[in-house]
Amino acid sequence: MRLPILGVVGLLALIPGIARAQCTPALQRSITDRRYAEARAELQAQLKRAPNDDAAMDCMGRLLLEEGESGDAVDWLEKAVKIDGKSAQHHLGLGSALRAETMKAGPLKMPFLAGRLKKEYELAVALDPTLVDARHGLLQLYAFAPGVMGGSMAKAREQAAEILKLDPMRGHLDYGMLAERGEDFAGAEKEFLAGITVRPDNAVPYNATGSFYRRRERWADATAMYEKALKANPDARSTSIAHYGLGVVHQKNGRAEPAKAEFAAALAANPDNAEAKKALASLK
């Protein structure tokens, strides 16, 4: 069950964070700029003025999730759902927080949490069929969970088909992930490249394709894609992913110093990039 959470291509990491639809524009800016203490103080003030403000509760949960405090995030998002169980965004946020908790869970607790997050994603989709993030979460669970826990490649492909209609770039990346899962590597490459064709101005499909090539040990192709990602108007998260990927390519080819530089650049762009942090520490 580790795979549904991490994903073969780490697609959830490649795609910018789930939209904080319940946060005000000012709070969104604070969170994006990593001014977490400032955002938390503002939310606490909002909740003091209006203790039953489910939008503020939702935003607090998403802020805590950004800070890595997934357990507390679950608590706040559960409160938001309790007040307004008809909000698709609340269920999506709670599902995402539960996914983060599942990553930390032991083998006994993991199936329980996975079942809960599946239910939340299903509720989010039922309430708003256009929520791509919720459909993507379901797709990963269907694709990688054992059959006894609801796994089904047929259901995963159904979600990919719906995602393709709503967001062609992400649909192609998801189809690529499923093809790679089935060891159809030619088909996977075709889908990843199709994602680039749809959005050549976006860093996400370049990073996804670069990661695919890296897993196939096609180092030159991976390097080319990561370099294109850095030129495609990337946000901090995408920049960090591209530098981390380049660092791995250097490391795998015995180039320690360039690898260190890339891992450091990845952390400079996103200090929360745990993989880059671990990789840099291993080289030091």
pLDDT at 147: 77
- Per residue in 100-114, pLDDT (tens digit) is 998 888 888 888 888
What per-residue confidence (pLDDT) applies to 108?
A: 82
Tell which residue, 36, 87, 33, 30, has the closest CA to residue 58: 87
| Residue ranges in the chain modelled with pLDDT below 50 | 1-20
What are the structural domains, with CATH classification, of the chain?
1-145 (1.25.40.10), 202-284 (1.25.40.10)
Distance of CA 87 to the CA centre of its chain: 21
In which element (H, E) is residue 49 found?
A: helix 36-49
pTM: 0.87
Instruction: Collect all residues with Cβ–Cβ distance below 8 Å to 129 and sequence separation of at least 6.
Output: 162
Cα 275 to its chain centre, rounded Å, is 14
Pull the structure tokens for residue 93: 């946020």
H or E element in which residue 115 lies: helix 110-127
* pLDDT tens readout for residues 129-147: 999 999 999 999 999 888 7
Identify residue 178 by its one-letter amino acid code. L
